[in-house]
Amino acid sequence: MAILTIVPNLTTVGNAFISLLFPNQCLVCKEGEFFSQDPICLDCIQHMTPLPIENRVQELTVNDGIDIAFSGWDFGDELRTAIHSLKYEERARIGFFLGKLLGDQLHKNTIQKLDYLIPVPLHPVKFRDRGFNQARWIADGLGKAVQKPVRTKLMKRIKHTISQTTLDKKERLNNMKKAFKINQDVTDKNIGIVDDVLTTGSTISSMASKLKDAGAKIIVAITVATPLEKKDDTYAESV
């Protein structure tokens, strides 16, 4: 049996050795080499402003259907500018890494109650233009950290949302709900909805309300960042 306890140690030693031979460069500051597999250096991580892990649902402009809202960091200029400039594969690595980092900080007991995670889906047209869904990578990293499955096909966007300017609050929510379709039974499920940036909460709220209408029990909104200064939709989806 001794060999079983030795094997992980050998793997760790091996990884450290590989890191020494091929040092990484931080994807955010592009400066300095460091000997870890992480895409962001410690300096850059320390420059991000972590938020206390607490329920922020009351801070949202729109929170129907959402029971709990968690966000990891302040979405300040530095984080936004740095991450916005990344290439496709780099964004994927950073998204996964930030999701994992966030998962390590979240209250384990709240997260443990979840049955699975859903990334906020992009509309197919937008997906075709962009070629990626950042929320998916974050959900994958988060799911790995908290050991929860990620369901990417459970909820889809089915059409662009029509102009909402003439609608009142309730009509807006109903209108937004029509933009999503649920493909599986969600009765009594506790679900985490994952996105990059939390602003007004309107997108996650419309998903949450739709899931609640279909029988879901608890909905937790989990995002990497939220701008502390200003809450409007111009920040949305810019990570």
CB closer to Zn ion out of 28 and 204: 28
Q: How far is the CB of 94 from Zn ion (least distance, A)?
A: 11
CA–CA gap between residue 146 and residue 62 (Å, rounded)? 27
Q: Using an 8 Å Cβ cutoff, are 75 and 197 in contact? A: yes
CB closer to Zn ion out of 34 and 132: 34
Q: How far is the CB of 36 from Zn ion (least distance, A)?
A: 11
CB closer to Zn ion out of 28 and 222: 28
Residues of this chain that bind Zn ion (CB under 5 A): 26, 28-29, 41, 44
Q: Rounded to 10 degrees, what is the CA torsion of 122, 125, 127, 130?
A: -130
Cα separation of the two ends of the chain? 47
Residue 39 Cα distances to 25, 68, 96, 122, 145, angstroms: 7, 29, 10, 25, 16
The DSSP secondary-structure symbol of 25 reads: E
Q: How far is the CB of 43 from Zn ion (least distance, A)?
A: 5
Q: How far is the CB of 144 from Zn ion (least distance, A)?
A: 22
CB closer to Zn ion out of 26 and 117: 26
Question: How far does Cα 52 stand from its chain's mean position?
Answer: 17
Q: How far is the CB of 56 from Zn ion (least distance, A)?
A: 27
Q: Residues, the chain, total? A: 239
Q: How far is the CB of 195 from Zn ion (least distance, A)?
A: 24
Q: Rounded to 10 degrees, what is the CA torsion of 51, 57, 59, 61?
A: 130
CA–CA gap between residue 72 and residue 63 (Å, rounded)? 18
CB closer to Zn ion out of 14 and 23: 23
CB closer to Zn ion out of 94 and 218: 94
Q: How far is the CB of 218 from Zn ion (least distance, A)?
A: 37
Ranges of H-type helices in the chain? 2-21, 42-47, 77-84, 88-105, 108-112, 124-130, 134-146, 169-177, 202-213
CB closer to Zn ion out of 27 and 179: 27
